[in-house]
Structure 1
């Protein structure tokens, strides 16, 4: 097995036919067929269903496709490192919908300015799915809130530790937090994620009885509702700073409650240098609440 065979195999999967793949890898169709045959012989398994026209990947072929892409990405990155050239390859990132997601595009742009030949794929999803994809090597990292139940082969690296704040409509008279929350309608963060549990637990601990007027599953929407005068809400500080609205803002919790957002990644990742660079750019853009790392992730 060599990288030429793997690149040909991936090209077939991505372009649909042996003939199209041949033009991509600059081979004749017969040479492509020979490489596929040699790869199947070495693996001692068929990778294509040849009963269909054009041939399609079978179950073993689909499994092999994921492995081939990982091997080629590692080879490309290793060549770049050893040659002293700028970092190449692809960084596959997953992220939850979070108030800090606004930091991520800016951090990616800054990272690509440092590594112009780097490709980045970004996908937004649920934290449980993203963590599973990191574990299965389908993602290089995931941006998620502080999470429990992460397997031992994954590392958690927070890049922001930010306070939660109570927000009230512009012009709201200054009053104690408990009074604000109990007298004005409450716009609840109704999402089954760690932030929702953090808010609900602190409300219960403080004995604050709120009167719900709305239950919303995105932080930006809560900020917009409060800014429009619908009621009060509890959000991460960055949501207010990023929004730029002039609202009444007070600390939430006694003492003030903080939440962390960070990167989950595999221990000993071959892309440790890139992970460290992205982490530090995110921390830098988080401002005063950024959590910086001195060593690349996975090198402790």
Structure 2
């Protein structure tokens, strides 16, 4: 006998797999952890088999769970696409989204392109700024949602991706290890500025700040001028730039997380659709 699987259960199942646990998944789907556990019991009962196994204190997908995951993702994606397509002719209005410079031109284009095709009557307003400036706009209700490097428990959202942080310089730049490392940095507050300075200080590498600029475009100009090196994610890399590392005497840098959060103010149907689309990946 064929069983119809509930999309809501599959959405939570996918969240558990992608977030690495029931607790994190509960935050993503805006439910309590006990509600998530109850959903998974219902899904296992519908299928007639266990989907998880205990590994230490955690519950991980077993073989059956891994087999289901691919189909669950496809079913959830098709469901969301159908809803968006059916409702697209009715949705209009304005969606306000923020994004840091680093990922505005790497993560967002794919989502905005898909959203624009499905919602031709919606006006999207994009604010590109640094994360410390975007979060107050979200809190004040001047943004519907924002991508950010700042983790927050005050808003509903999720981790979108984790990117490595690397040392970047002009393609023709040669680092003289006999001299202090010349730095090209953003001014405060900047997570990449702190990463660079902390890494060099902890390794005891002499350095000097040669150029300071609040904008990513200004940092790019300074790098192309050969003024020094900066710490950034690989999304910044262009043909005229290169990555430096331990071979040049530079210490490794920590990864950086990118999150998306939605305003605590009720979102329009269009804004909610874009938020869910970005969260679904």
TM category, shorter: 0.5 to 0.7
Distance in 1 separating the partners of 2:141 and 2:167: 39
8 A Cα contact 1:88 1:115, kept in partner: yes
Instruction: Please tell me whether residue 257 in structure 1 is matched to residue 261 in structure 2.
Output: no
Indicate the residue corresponding to 2:239 in structure 1.
244
Decide whether aligned partners of structure 1 residues 219 and 132 sit closer, same or farther in structure 2, where only a CA change above 3 A counts. closer
Match of 1:43 in 2: none
**1:215-241 CA distances to partner (integer Å, 9 max, x unpaired)?**
22223332332233222222221111x
Partner deviation per Cα, 1:71-92 (whole Å, 9 max, x = no partner): xxxxxxxxxx799431613222
Verify: 1:212 aligned to 2:209, yes or no: yes
CA 169–181 in structure 1, closer or farther in 2 if over 3 Å, else same: farther
Offset of 1:141 from its aligned partner? 0.3
Q: Conserved in 2, the CA contact under 8 Å of 1:107 and 1:278?
A: yes
Q: Would you say the 8 A contact 1:130–1:142 is kept in 2? A: yes
2:159 aligns to what? 158
- Give the SS at the match of 1:247: strand
Unaligned 5+ segments in structure 1 are 1-80, 281-291, 293-300
How far 1:120 sits from its partner (Å)?
1.2
2:147 alignment counterpart: 143
Structure 1 residue ranges (4+ consecutive) displaced by more than 6 angstroms after TM superposition: none
Counterpart residue number, 1:227: 224
Count how many residue pairs are aligned between Structure 1 and Structure 2. Answer: 191
3-state SS in 2 of match to 1:88: coil
Paired position in structure 2 for 1:200: 197
1:131, distance to aligned residue in structure 2 (A): 2.5
TM-score (norm 1): 0.52
Query: 2:197, 2:99 → 1: CA distance?
Result: 23
Alpha-carbon deviation of 1:151?
Answer: 5.2
Alignment partners' CA distance in 1, 2:139 and 2:223: 38
Match of 1:260, SS?
Answer: strand
**In 2 relative to 1, CA 126–215 (structure 1 residues): closer, same or farther, beyond 3 Å?**
closer
CA RMSD of aligned residues (A): 3.4
Query: Structure 2: how far apart are the matches of 1:199 and 1:157?
Result: 26
Matches of 2:162 and 2:276 in 1, distance apart?
17
Residues 234, 82 of structure 1: CA spacing in aligned structure 2 closer, same or farther, 3 A cutoff? closer
Match of 2:124 among 103, 120, 125: 120
TM-score, normalised with respect to structure 2: 0.55
Change (3 A) 1:172 1:277: same
Residue in structure 1 matched with residue 95 of structure 2 by the alignment: 91
Choose which of 132, 136, 140 in structure 1 pairs with 2:136. Answer: 132
Choose 1 or 2 for highest CA Rg: 1
